[in-house]
Amino acid sequence: MRLLACFRYKIFRSDASFSPLTISSNNSFGLFNRFIQRRWKKPIVSAQTRLEDRVRDPHLDKFMTHLDKLKCILKTHHLMSNRKRGSFVSVQLMSRWRNIIELNVTIGSFIHKYPHVFELFVHPFRRNLCCRITRKMKELIMLEEVSVKQQELEAVKRVKKLMMMSVNGTLHIHALRLMRRELGLPEDF
C-alpha cells in the first residue's frame, strides 16, 4: 500500500517537466492514454479513390477526361456561334449556360483555365466583361470540319462494320448519335 502511495505522489506532484494533469500538445490523446502508441490514420475511401482504384486503363481514362473537356468547349462554341448579335457573349450570360454545358465549376474559372480557347475583353459601349473564341481555336474547329468531310467514306465503313458486328444487323440511331464525334461522323449523318 505504501508503494502505491509513493507512486501516486510521483504522478501528482507539481513538477514543471512532467505534469500529467495539464494537457499539452504532446498529450492530445488524453490523460490516461499518454503512453499508448499512436496509430496512423486509415487511408481515405471516397468516391474519387474508388474511381481511381477501379480504372483499368489510366491512359484511356485520361483520354476520356480530355474528351469531356473538349465537349464542354465545343458546346460553348456552339452556343456562342448561334448568337444573332455577334461572335461574342457576356460572361454574365455565359454563367446561365452552366447547366447546358454540363460544367461542375463556375464559368469564370472555366474561362480562365483555357486562355488559348477563350479571349476576354471589355465591351466598348456597355463596359461589361465579354468573351469570344480565339482565332486559333476557330481555325482548329474549321480544320476538324474539313477533315470530317474528307473522311466521310471511312466513317461509312466504320458504321457498316459496327452493323455487321451486331447480333441482328441493326444499330440504334440514338447510340450512333451519342458516339458521333468519336466515330468521325458529320452532324447530319
Highest mean pLDDT among 9-18, 32-41, 45-54: 45-54
**Each residue of 120-179: pLDDT tens digit?**
888 888 888 889 999 999 999 999 889 988 988 898 898 899 889 988 988 888 888 888
171 with 159: CB under 8 angstroms?
A: yes
- Give domain status of residue 117, yes or no: yes
* Domain CATH code at residue 84: 3.30.420
Residues 66 and 129 in one domain: yes
Residue 19 half-sphere exposure toward CB, CA atoms < 13 A = 9
Structural domain includes residue 22:
no
* Same domain? 133 vs 84: yes
Any domain includes 44 = no
Say what the pLDDT of residue 32 is. Answer: 63
The residue segments making up the domain with residue 131 are: 58-137
Cell match 502508441: residue?
Answer: 37
Does 87 map to a domain? Answer: yes
pTM here is: 0.60
Shared domain for 102 and 172, answered yes or no, is no
Give me the number of domains the chain comprises: 2
Specify whether 67 is located in the same domain as 125: yes
Integer angstrom CA distances of residue 160 from 12, 22, 170, 178, 187:
87, 79, 10, 17, 18
